[in-house]
Amino acid sequence: MTKLHVRWAGLTAAIVAAVGLLAVPNATAEVAPFPELALPFKAGQRVYSAGIHSDDGSTGVKNAIDFSPADGTVRAPLAGTVHLQHCAGGDWVTIDHAGGWRTGYYHMEDIKVTDGEQVEAGAVLGSTGNALPCGGSSTGAHVHFTLWTLPDAPAEPARAADAGNWDGLAFGAVSTTVAQAYGEPVDGKTLGGWRFAAGADQYTGTATYVADDAVTQLPGRFRAKL
Ligand SMILES: [Zn+2]
């Protein structure tokens, strides 16, 4: 439930030490505003989106959206640091961006990036697919794109591992425990000039092209213009 940002905890601890206070006011966690992201594939092509949903597709924050771009190639929507999350069934990709934001790419096949790699916006991550490295399910090649916020520089090693290293974590845990702690809604976010709004039901919503207010109902197809 609590989105504790450990850099704040570290800072407040330092303040406590410095001024000798026994208690400090509650510091509200601060994450940078949602950054300007591209869509996670090349512009100028049609894409099918199965809509906005929670990570597990049934309950919790709707922090995910499925994309199937025509060229089947998934790209970084913003520069960042790749973390490959390893499971018995293979790997999946997360990218940590400046400001405490993390994006995720599940079901990809033919992964082209390595653990710790710094990528620029537009870097090829892999191909849409049906991979289930840590479990879950998929019907039809796509990428399950997910949003989380994580502390930039966790002060406590244990917390850092908890926050950033999901190796071996079943997708069932990522989509529940992790999503509850760190998941951020896709609703209201803009990617590549398209603003996404979640619907009442799972796998629904809209994509609105901000420049002309053209609305695509999801699930549905639209053209990535930027
Ligand atoms: Zn999905």
Q: Give the pLDDT confidence score for residue 6 in this predicted structure.
A: 39
Indicate if the pLDDT at residue 29 is higher than 90: no
Please return the burial class of 183, using the count of CB atoms within 10 Å of its CB with bins 0-12, 13-18 and 19+.
Answer: buried
Encode pLDDT of 119-144 as tens digits. 999 999 999 999 999 999 998 999 99
Determine the pLDDT at residue 159.
52
Provide, rounded to the nearest whole percent, the portion of the chain with pLDDT above 70. Answer: 81
Taking 3-state DSSP, the helix, strand and coil percentages for the chain, each rounded to the nearest 5, stand at 15, 35, 50
| Residue 18 reports pLDDT greater than 50 | no
Give catalytic status of residue 107 as yes or no: yes
Instruction: Please give the angle made by the CA atoms of 205, 98 and 67, to the nearest 5 degrees.
Output: 30
CA of residue 80 to ligand 1 center, whole Å: 22
Supply the pLDDT for residue 16.
37
Q: 154-209 pLDDT, tens per residue?
A: 555 555 555 678 988 999 999 999 999 899 999 999 999 999 999 999 999 999 99
Cα angle, residue 81 at apex, residues 113 and 143 outer, rounded to 5°:
55
Residue 193 sits in which domain range? 6-29+46-223
How far CA 120 is from CA of 28, 71, 83, 190, 207, in Å, comes to 31, 20, 14, 19, 25
Q: Which of 5, 97, 142, 144 is catalytic?
A: 142
Q: Is residue 195 part of a domain?
A: yes
Cα of 46 from ligand 1 centre, angstroms: 18
Catalytic residue from among 5, 83, 107, 144: 107
| Cα 161 to ligand 1 centroid, rounded to whole Å | 25
Task: For the chain, count helices (H), then strands (E).
Answer: 4, 14
Task: Please give the residue that has the higher pLDDT: either 143 or 33.
Answer: 143
Q: Decide if 34 is inside a domain.
A: no
Place of tokens 């190796």: 167
DSSP SS3 for 153: coil
Residue 35 lies in a domain: no
Number of domains in the chain: 1
Would residue 1 count as lying in a domain? no
Q: 65 alpha carbon to ligand 1 midpoint, in Å?
A: 5
Residue 36 lies in a domain: no
Residue 53 alpha carbon to ligand 1 centre in Å? 7
Rounded Cα–Cα distance for residues 89 and 92 (Å): 10
103 domain residue, yes or no: yes
Tell whether the model's pLDDT for residue 2 goes beyond 60.
Answer: no
Q: What's residue 8's pLDDT? A: 39
Q: Where are the alpha helices (DSSP H) in 119-215?
A: 157-164, 171-173, 179-182
Does residue 70 lie in a domain region? yes
Give the tens place of pLDDT for each residue, 77-133: 999 999 999 999 999 999 999 988 999 999 999 999 999 999 999 999 999 999 999
Where residue 225 falls among pLDDT bands split at 50, 70, 90?
A: confident
Q: How far is the CA of 57 from the centre of ligand 1 (A)?
A: 7
Is 5 in the active site?
Answer: no
Check which CATH number belongs to the domain holding 165 and give it.
Answer: 2.70.70.10
Residue 41 lies in a domain: no
